[in-house]
């Protein structure tokens, strides 16, 4: 399929949304089959300059008389490209380029052939992941989110559909359409998220911050343990009501190791200040990975089942104090500052 069918243009680069690095020469972009679609966008397999890519085509609706939807789609497009253009980390999807020619917008990213975490879990047919694989995937996601937060960005829609795998099963965070910069966004503005994974403060339109992503991560961990969608028996709006009105959470299986159960419960804690930071989560998951490698089990990790053990775990997490804040105001440990400063 020729790109001219979508953009009515052939030849050199057209108007670009962000930096010169994001320029797209449409004469070198070729679209293949569509592999996903939404209300206003479609995803295509493509080739750009001999590189396999995913091409997101966003089409403005023709029947939007008051222009509200057009404005929202353009805002999401600009926000996604702007944020992706400055995020460089192995667990974050890589932006290849973008172009804007109303009524059509185009975002080109690396093509991740492993599909989504949602598809991966669906193929398991409600069977739980083996622990080494589960911890490896969770660590990939947590490291990606740790980096995203260190750059002052909130994803706001972390869920299995937005976690993609490359051919080596390395997990990468994708879909930054409703992501935002924490320092500059309106905390009370209504933005679409996904109710099943949405933090209570966000559902209630109360002021919120980057800990909404930690809450969502707790639900993702639970899904990997159970192979089940959260609140599967409820409609999304019913689940949202139960979360804010009854403080409902999914039931964690009894066979889940106590240390991992404690991590899930901390992530989806009602109060954001009780949730750990992602750099702390990374530390915990690394400890879990080490325990699996040495003992083949997580059962030997200090079990926080009683009040005293749980207090010990919380104290251990709190001792992992970062030593300095980065330019975005997020605290980072020395190793992380060095890693991220290398770009």
Catalytic residue set = 157
User: How many angstroms from the chain centroid is the CA of residue 92?
Assistant: 8
Helix (H) or strand (E) holding 29: strand 29-37
For residues 109 and 174, the answer to whether their CB atoms sit within 8 Å is yes
Phi, then psi, of 180 in degrees rounded to 5? -155, 165
Distance, in Å, from the CA atom of 320 to the CA atom of 163, rounded to the nearest integer, reads 27
With vertex at residue 54, the alpha carbon angle to CA 50 and CA 60, rounded to the nearest 5 degrees, is 125
Helix (H) or strand (E) holding 337: helix 334-341
Nearest alpha-carbon partner for 265 in 277, 289, 280, 249: 249
Nearest alpha-carbon partner for 174 in 199, 194, 200, 148: 148
Phi, then psi, of 54 in degrees rounded to 5? -105, 135
Edge-to-edge strand ranges of the sheet holding 29-37: 29-37, 41-48, 51-59, 104-110, 95-101
User: How many angstroms from the chain centroid is the CA of residue 231?
Assistant: 20
């Amino acid at each position: 399929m020729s790109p001219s069918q979508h953009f009515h243009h052939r030849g050199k680069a057209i108007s670009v949304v962000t930096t010169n690095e994001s320029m797209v020469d449409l004469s070198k972009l070729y679209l293949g089959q569509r592999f996903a679609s939404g209300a206003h966008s479609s995803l295509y397999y493509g080739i750009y300059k001999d590189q396999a890519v995913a091409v997101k085509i966003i089409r403005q609706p023709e029947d939007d008389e008051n222009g509200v939807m057009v404005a929202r789609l353009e805002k999401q497009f600009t926000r996604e490209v702007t944020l992706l253009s400055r995020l460089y980390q192995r667990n974050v999807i890589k932006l290849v380029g973008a172009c804007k020619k109303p009524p059509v917008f185009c975002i080109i990213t690396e093509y991740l052939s492993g599909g989504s975490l949602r598809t991966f879990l669906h193929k398991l047919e409600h069977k739980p992941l083996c622990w080494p694989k589960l911890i490896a995937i969770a660590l990939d996601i947590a490291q990606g989110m740790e980096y995203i937060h260190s750059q002052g960005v909130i994803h706001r829609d972390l869920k299995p559909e937005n976690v993609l795998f490359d051919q080596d099963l390395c997990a990468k965070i994708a879909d930054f359409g409703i992501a935002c910069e924490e320092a500059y966004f309106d905390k009370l503005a209504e933005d679409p998220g996904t109710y099943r994974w949405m933090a209570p403060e966000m559902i209630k339109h109360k002021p919120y911050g980057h800990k909404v992503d930690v809450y969502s991560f707790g639900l993702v961990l639970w899904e990997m343990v159970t192979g089940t969608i959260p609140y599967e028996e409820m409609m999304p709006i019913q689940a949202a009501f139960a979360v804010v009105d009854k403080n409902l959470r999914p039931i964690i299986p009894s066979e889940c190791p106590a240390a991992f159960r404690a991590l899930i419960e901390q992530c989806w804690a009602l109060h954001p200040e009780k949730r750990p930071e992602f750099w702390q989560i990374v530390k915990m998951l690394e400890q879990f990975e080490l325990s699996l490698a040495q003992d083949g089990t997580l059962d030997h990790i200090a079990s926080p089942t009683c009040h005293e053990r749980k207090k010990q775990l919380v104290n251990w997490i709190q001792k992992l104090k970062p030593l300095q804040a980065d330019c975005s105001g997020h605290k980072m440990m020395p190793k992380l500052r060095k890693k991220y400063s290398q770009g």
